Amino acid sequence: MADTTQAQRIDGRALAAAVREDLTHRIEVMVNAGRAPRLDAVIVQGNPAGEVYAQRQARTCEAIGLTYALHTLPADADQQLVIDTIDALNADEACTGIMVHLPLPDGVCMQAVQARIAVHKDVEGVNPANIGGVIYGQRTLVPCTAAAAMHLIESTGIELAGTRAVVVGASGIVGKPVAVLLMQAQATVTSTNIHTEDLVGHCAAADIIVAAAGVPGLIGPEHVKPGAVVIDVGINRVTCPDSGEQRTVGDVDADAVASIAGHLSPVPGGVGPVTVAMLLRNTVEAAQRA
Ligand code: NAD
Protein backbone atom coordinates (compact mmCIF):
# COMPACT_ATOMS: atom_id res chain seq x y z
CA MET A 1 0.00 0.00 0.00
CA ALA A 2 1.31 3.46 -0.89
CA ASP A 3 2.59 5.65 1.95
CA THR A 4 0.17 8.55 2.15
CA THR A 5 2.12 10.53 4.76
CA GLN A 6 2.14 14.20 3.81
CA ALA A 7 4.78 16.81 4.63
CA GLN A 8 3.86 19.27 7.35
CA ARG A 9 2.95 22.51 5.63
CA ILE A 10 4.94 25.45 7.01
CA ASP A 11 2.32 28.15 7.32
CA GLY A 12 4.08 31.39 6.40
CA ARG A 13 0.94 33.46 6.87
CA ALA A 14 0.54 32.28 10.48
CA LEU A 15 4.24 32.83 11.22
CA ALA A 16 4.03 36.34 9.73
CA ALA A 17 0.93 37.12 11.80
CA ALA A 18 2.78 36.10 14.98
CA VAL A 19 5.71 38.39 14.10
CA ARG A 20 3.30 41.28 13.39
CA GLU A 21 1.53 40.76 16.70
CA ASP A 22 4.83 40.94 18.58
CA LEU A 23 5.79 44.08 16.62
CA THR A 24 2.45 45.75 17.38
CA HIS A 25 3.27 45.65 21.10
CA ARG A 26 6.84 46.82 20.58
CA ILE A 27 5.73 49.73 18.39
CA GLU A 28 3.10 50.78 20.94
CA VAL A 29 5.77 50.96 23.63
CA MET A 30 8.03 53.03 21.34
CA VAL A 31 5.23 55.42 20.34
CA ASN A 32 4.32 55.94 24.01
CA ALA A 33 7.95 56.71 24.72
CA GLY A 34 8.00 59.35 21.95
CA ARG A 35 10.27 57.22 19.73
CA ALA A 36 7.84 56.22 16.97
CA PRO A 37 9.53 54.25 14.17
CA ARG A 38 8.84 55.39 10.59
CA LEU A 39 9.37 53.39 7.41
CA ASP A 40 10.04 55.49 4.30
CA ALA A 41 9.69 53.80 0.91
CA VAL A 42 10.90 55.23 -2.38
CA ILE A 43 9.23 54.29 -5.64
CA VAL A 44 9.65 55.53 -9.20
CA GLN A 45 6.41 55.86 -11.19
CA GLY A 46 5.78 53.32 -13.96
CA ASN A 47 6.23 50.28 -11.68
CA PRO A 48 2.67 48.84 -11.40
CA ALA A 49 3.68 45.77 -9.40
CA GLY A 50 5.66 47.97 -7.00
CA GLU A 51 2.71 50.34 -6.64
CA VAL A 52 0.38 47.46 -5.68
CA TYR A 53 2.99 46.21 -3.22
CA ALA A 54 3.41 49.71 -1.76
CA GLN A 55 -0.36 50.03 -1.21
CA ARG A 56 -0.41 46.68 0.60
CA GLN A 57 2.63 47.72 2.59
CA ALA A 58 0.88 50.91 3.70
CA ARG A 59 -2.10 48.87 4.96
CA THR A 60 0.15 46.35 6.74
CA CYS A 61 2.09 49.13 8.47
CA GLU A 62 -1.11 50.88 9.52
CA ALA A 63 -2.43 47.65 11.02
CA ILE A 64 0.57 47.36 13.36
CA GLY A 65 0.76 51.10 14.18
CA LEU A 66 3.88 51.75 12.11
CA THR A 67 4.07 55.09 10.29
CA TYR A 68 4.70 54.61 6.57
CA ALA A 69 5.70 57.35 4.14
CA LEU A 70 5.79 56.66 0.40
CA HIS A 71 7.94 58.95 -1.75
CA THR A 72 6.87 58.70 -5.39
CA LEU A 73 9.38 60.00 -7.91
CA PRO A 74 8.47 60.83 -11.53
CA ALA A 75 8.93 58.13 -14.17
CA ASP A 76 11.87 60.04 -15.70
CA ALA A 77 13.75 60.20 -12.37
CA ASP A 78 17.49 59.91 -12.90
CA GLN A 79 20.13 58.52 -10.59
CA GLN A 80 20.84 61.90 -9.02
CA LEU A 81 17.21 62.43 -8.03
CA VAL A 82 16.99 58.97 -6.45
CA ILE A 83 20.29 59.52 -4.60
CA ASP A 84 19.18 63.00 -3.44
CA THR A 85 15.95 61.47 -2.10
CA ILE A 86 17.91 58.83 -0.19
CA ASP A 87 20.29 61.48 1.18
CA ALA A 88 17.35 63.56 2.44
CA LEU A 89 15.88 60.50 4.21
CA ASN A 90 19.29 59.59 5.67
CA ALA A 91 19.40 63.08 7.19
CA ASP A 92 15.78 63.06 8.43
CA GLU A 93 15.78 62.01 12.09
CA ALA A 94 12.09 61.07 12.02
CA CYS A 95 12.81 58.44 9.35
CA THR A 96 14.16 55.28 10.98
CA GLY A 97 13.96 52.87 8.05
CA ILE A 98 14.36 53.22 4.26
CA MET A 99 13.44 50.84 1.46
CA VAL A 100 13.48 51.21 -2.31
CA HIS A 101 10.90 49.53 -4.53
CA LEU A 102 12.46 47.71 -7.46
CA PRO A 103 12.86 47.75 -10.36
CA LEU A 104 14.42 51.15 -10.82
CA PRO A 105 14.30 52.73 -14.30
CA ASP A 106 17.03 52.13 -16.87
CA GLY A 107 20.00 54.33 -16.14
CA VAL A 108 19.57 54.20 -12.35
CA CYS A 109 22.11 51.84 -10.79
CA MET A 110 20.34 49.73 -8.18
CA GLN A 111 23.54 48.85 -6.33
CA ALA A 112 24.66 52.49 -6.09
CA VAL A 113 21.26 53.43 -4.66
CA GLN A 114 21.30 50.55 -2.15
CA ALA A 115 24.84 51.42 -1.07
CA ARG A 116 23.73 55.01 -0.43
CA ILE A 117 21.13 54.06 2.20
CA ALA A 118 22.47 54.77 5.70
CA VAL A 119 23.59 51.43 7.11
CA HIS A 120 21.50 51.78 10.28
CA LYS A 121 18.33 52.64 8.27
CA ASP A 122 18.80 49.90 5.64
CA VAL A 123 15.85 47.76 6.70
CA GLU A 124 15.94 45.58 3.57
CA GLY A 125 19.51 44.63 4.43
CA VAL A 126 20.75 45.48 0.94
CA ASN A 127 23.61 47.85 1.75
CA PRO A 128 26.91 45.96 1.22
CA ALA A 129 27.82 46.73 4.85
CA ASN A 130 24.76 44.86 6.12
CA ILE A 131 25.27 41.97 3.71
CA GLY A 132 28.90 41.87 4.91
CA GLY A 133 27.65 41.84 8.51
CA VAL A 134 25.95 38.51 7.78
CA ILE A 135 29.39 36.98 7.17
CA TYR A 136 30.47 38.12 10.64
CA GLY A 137 27.41 36.62 12.31
CA GLN A 138 25.65 39.92 12.98
CA ARG A 139 21.99 39.02 12.60
CA THR A 140 20.90 42.63 12.72
CA LEU A 141 19.72 43.99 9.37
CA VAL A 142 19.78 40.70 7.47
CA PRO A 143 18.35 40.68 3.90
CA CYS A 144 14.64 40.05 4.43
CA THR A 145 14.12 37.01 2.20
CA ALA A 146 17.15 35.23 3.66
CA ALA A 147 15.92 36.03 7.18
CA ALA A 148 12.48 34.70 6.19
CA ALA A 149 13.92 31.42 4.87
CA MET A 150 15.77 30.95 8.17
CA HIS A 151 12.65 31.82 10.18
CA LEU A 152 10.70 29.11 8.33
CA ILE A 153 13.46 26.55 8.82
CA GLU A 154 13.76 27.38 12.53
CA SER A 155 9.97 27.14 12.92
CA THR A 156 10.19 23.40 12.21
CA GLY A 157 12.27 22.94 15.37
CA ILE A 158 15.04 21.17 13.44
CA GLU A 159 18.42 21.16 15.22
CA LEU A 160 20.57 22.70 12.47
CA ALA A 161 24.04 21.79 13.74
CA GLY A 162 25.31 18.79 11.81
CA THR A 163 22.58 18.80 9.17
CA ARG A 164 23.31 18.80 5.46
CA ALA A 165 21.76 21.78 3.67
CA VAL A 166 21.64 22.57 -0.04
CA VAL A 167 20.84 26.08 -1.24
CA VAL A 168 19.71 26.09 -4.87
CA GLY A 169 20.58 29.50 -6.33
CA ALA A 170 23.36 31.83 -5.23
CA SER A 171 22.21 35.41 -5.77
CA GLY A 172 23.72 38.10 -3.56
CA ILE A 173 20.42 38.94 -1.91
CA VAL A 174 18.88 35.48 -1.40
CA GLY A 175 20.96 32.34 -2.04
CA LYS A 176 24.34 33.49 -0.72
CA PRO A 177 23.08 35.03 2.55
CA VAL A 178 20.90 31.97 3.23
CA ALA A 179 23.94 29.73 2.72
CA VAL A 180 26.00 31.86 5.13
CA LEU A 181 23.24 31.91 7.75
CA LEU A 182 22.99 28.12 7.56
CA MET A 183 26.78 27.87 7.89
CA GLN A 184 26.61 29.99 11.01
CA ALA A 185 24.04 27.58 12.40
CA GLN A 186 26.70 24.88 11.95
CA ALA A 187 24.98 23.10 9.06
CA THR A 188 27.16 21.62 6.33
CA VAL A 189 26.16 23.72 3.35
CA THR A 190 26.34 23.19 -0.38
CA SER A 191 25.69 26.25 -2.53
CA THR A 192 24.53 25.41 -6.04
CA ASN A 193 23.97 27.48 -9.16
CA ILE A 194 23.00 27.12 -12.80
CA HIS A 195 26.36 25.46 -13.61
CA THR A 196 26.09 22.84 -10.86
CA GLU A 197 26.33 19.30 -12.16
CA ASP A 198 24.17 16.59 -10.64
CA LEU A 199 21.81 18.85 -8.70
CA VAL A 200 19.74 15.77 -7.88
CA GLY A 201 22.75 14.07 -6.26
CA HIS A 202 23.45 17.10 -4.07
CA CYS A 203 19.84 17.65 -3.07
CA ALA A 204 18.93 14.02 -2.48
CA ALA A 205 21.47 13.81 0.36
CA ALA A 206 20.21 16.99 2.07
CA ASP A 207 18.24 17.36 5.29
CA ILE A 208 17.32 20.90 4.22
CA ILE A 209 16.75 22.27 0.73
CA VAL A 210 16.26 25.97 0.11
CA ALA A 211 15.11 26.48 -3.49
CA ALA A 212 15.84 30.00 -4.73
CA ALA A 213 16.58 29.70 -8.45
CA GLY A 214 13.49 31.24 -10.06
CA VAL A 215 12.82 28.07 -12.10
CA PRO A 216 9.27 26.68 -11.79
CA GLY A 217 9.14 23.04 -10.66
CA LEU A 218 12.95 22.70 -10.59
CA ILE A 219 12.87 20.60 -7.41
CA GLY A 220 10.98 17.35 -7.92
CA PRO A 221 10.57 14.17 -5.87
CA GLU A 222 13.92 12.80 -7.07
CA HIS A 223 15.67 15.74 -5.33
CA VAL A 224 14.12 15.19 -1.91
CA LYS A 225 15.29 12.85 0.84
CA PRO A 226 12.40 11.41 2.88
CA GLY A 227 11.67 13.71 5.82
CA ALA A 228 13.71 16.68 4.51
CA VAL A 229 12.77 20.30 5.21
CA VAL A 230 12.04 22.00 1.87
CA ILE A 231 11.81 25.79 1.71
CA ASP A 232 10.50 27.20 -1.55
CA VAL A 233 11.65 30.79 -2.14
CA GLY A 234 10.79 30.93 -5.85
CA ILE A 235 8.04 33.22 -7.09
CA ASN A 236 7.26 32.45 -10.72
CA ARG A 237 4.27 33.51 -12.81
CA VAL A 238 3.22 30.68 -15.14
CA THR A 239 0.33 30.16 -17.55
CA CYS A 240 -1.81 27.11 -16.89
CA PRO A 241 -1.81 25.09 -20.17
CA ASP A 242 -5.45 23.98 -19.76
CA SER A 243 -7.19 27.15 -18.62
CA GLY A 244 -4.72 29.75 -19.89
CA GLU A 245 -4.90 31.38 -16.45
CA GLN A 246 -1.85 32.92 -14.85
CA ARG A 247 -0.82 31.65 -11.45
CA THR A 248 2.09 31.95 -9.06
CA VAL A 249 4.22 28.88 -8.39
CA GLY A 250 7.50 28.25 -6.62
CA ASP A 251 10.64 26.37 -7.62
CA VAL A 252 9.37 23.16 -6.01
CA ASP A 253 6.92 20.74 -7.60
CA ALA A 254 4.92 20.83 -4.36
CA ASP A 255 2.33 18.18 -5.28
CA ALA A 256 5.02 15.65 -6.14
CA VAL A 257 7.27 16.47 -3.18
CA ALA A 258 4.58 16.64 -0.48
CA SER A 259 4.53 12.90 0.15
CA ILE A 260 8.32 12.75 0.60
CA ALA A 261 9.38 15.89 2.48
CA GLY A 262 8.95 16.20 6.24
CA HIS A 263 8.18 19.93 6.11
CA LEU A 264 7.35 21.98 3.03
CA SER A 265 6.74 25.71 2.66
CA PRO A 266 4.07 26.52 0.06
CA VAL A 267 3.99 29.19 -2.66
CA PRO A 268 2.07 31.37 -2.17
CA GLY A 269 1.77 31.54 1.63
CA GLY A 270 5.28 30.53 2.67
CA VAL A 271 8.41 32.67 2.35
CA GLY A 272 6.54 35.65 0.82
CA PRO A 273 4.49 36.81 3.84
CA VAL A 274 7.38 36.14 6.21
CA THR A 275 9.68 38.29 4.03
CA VAL A 276 7.30 41.23 4.55
CA ALA A 277 7.23 40.49 8.30
CA MET A 278 11.05 40.47 8.39
CA LEU A 279 11.09 43.92 6.76
CA LEU A 280 8.79 45.20 9.49
CA ARG A 281 10.89 43.53 12.17
CA ASN A 282 14.08 45.07 10.74
CA THR A 283 12.32 48.45 10.76
CA VAL A 284 11.40 48.17 14.43
CA GLU A 285 14.84 46.87 15.41
CA ALA A 286 16.61 49.63 13.43
CA ALA A 287 14.49 52.22 15.25
CA GLN A 288 15.18 50.63 18.64
CA ARG A 289 18.92 50.80 18.01
CA ALA A 290 18.76 54.39 16.68
P1 NAD B 1 18.53 35.50 -9.43
O2 NAD B 1 18.07 35.36 -10.85
O3 NAD B 1 19.28 36.72 -9.01
O4 NAD B 1 19.45 34.25 -9.06
C5 NAD B 1 19.06 32.95 -9.42
C6 NAD B 1 20.13 31.97 -8.96
O7 NAD B 1 19.66 30.67 -9.26
C8 NAD B 1 21.47 32.14 -9.66
O9 NAD B 1 22.52 31.93 -8.73
C10 NAD B 1 21.48 30.99 -10.70
O11 NAD B 1 22.79 30.52 -11.01
C12 NAD B 1 20.67 29.95 -9.96
N13 NAD B 1 20.02 28.98 -10.86
C14 NAD B 1 19.27 29.24 -11.94
N15 NAD B 1 18.87 28.09 -12.52
C16 NAD B 1 19.39 27.09 -11.76
C17 NAD B 1 19.36 25.68 -11.85
N18 NAD B 1 18.70 25.07 -12.85
N19 NAD B 1 19.99 24.96 -10.91
C20 NAD B 1 20.65 25.57 -9.91
N21 NAD B 1 20.73 26.91 -9.77
C22 NAD B 1 20.11 27.66 -10.70
O23 NAD B 1 17.22 35.30 -8.55
P24 NAD B 1 16.88 35.75 -7.03
O25 NAD B 1 16.67 37.21 -7.00
O26 NAD B 1 17.83 35.12 -6.08
O27 NAD B 1 15.45 35.07 -6.88
C28 NAD B 1 15.30 33.67 -6.94
C29 NAD B 1 13.82 33.34 -6.84
O30 NAD B 1 13.35 33.78 -5.58
C31 NAD B 1 12.94 34.05 -7.89
O32 NAD B 1 11.86 33.20 -8.23
C33 NAD B 1 12.42 35.26 -7.14
O34 NAD B 1 11.18 35.72 -7.66
C35 NAD B 1 12.26 34.67 -5.76
N36 NAD B 1 12.28 35.68 -4.68
C37 NAD B 1 11.34 35.56 -3.73
C38 NAD B 1 11.30 36.46 -2.68
C39 NAD B 1 10.24 36.31 -1.63
O40 NAD B 1 10.03 37.23 -0.84
N41 NAD B 1 9.58 35.15 -1.52
C42 NAD B 1 12.25 37.48 -2.63
C43 NAD B 1 13.25 37.54 -3.58
C44 NAD B 1 13.27 36.61 -4.61
State yes or no: pLDDT of 5 exceeds 80: no
CA 200 to ligand 1 center in whole angstroms: 17
Whose CA is closest to 76, among 46, 120, 42?
46
Instruction: Please check whether residue 279 lies inside any domain of the structure.
Output: no
CA 135 to ligand 1 center in whole angstroms: 20
Instruction: Please check whether residue 228 lies inside any domain of the structure.
Output: yes
Into how many domains does the chain fold?
A: 2
Is any atom of ligand 1 closer than 6 Å to the C-beta of 126? no
The residue whose C-alpha atom lies closest to atom 43 belonging to ligand 1 is 145
The verdict on 176 and 77 lying in the same domain is no
The verdict on 228 and 267 lying in the same domain is yes
pLDDT band with cut points at 50, 70 and 90 for residue 1: very low
The verdict on 50 and 95 lying in the same domain is yes
Instruction: Please check whether residue 250 lies inside any domain of the structure.
Output: yes
pLDDT tens digits for range 220-266: 999 999 999 999 999 999 998 889 999 999 999 999 999 999 999 99
The verdict on 49 and 156 lying in the same domain is no
Range of the domain at 185: 143-272
Contact 224, 217 (CB under 8 A): no
Instruction: Please check whether residue 118 lies inside any domain of the structure.
Output: yes
Beta strands in 130-211 (DSSP E): 164-168, 188-192, 208-211
Instruction: Please check whether residue 119 lies inside any domain of the structure.
Output: yes
CATH label of the domain that carries residue 92: 3.40.50.10860
Is any atom of ligand 1 closer than 6 Å to the C-beta of 268? no
pLDDT cut 90: percent of the chain above it: 94
Instruction: Please check whether residue 27 lies inside any domain of the structure.
Output: no
Judged on CB neighbours under 10 Å (0-12, 13-18, 19+), 70 is middle
The verdict on 40 and 125 lying in the same domain is yes
Question: Averaged over 97-119, what is the pLDDT?
Answer: 97
Question: Averaged over 23-28, what is the pLDDT?
Answer: 98
Question: Averaged over 18-30, what is the pLDDT?
Answer: 98
C-alpha span between 82 and 73 (Å, rounded)? 8
CATH label of the domain that carries residue 254: 3.40.50.720
The verdict on 147 and 256 lying in the same domain is yes
b vs e for 197-218, b when ≥16 Cβ sit within 10 Å of the residue's Cβ? eebeebbbebbbbbbbbeebbb
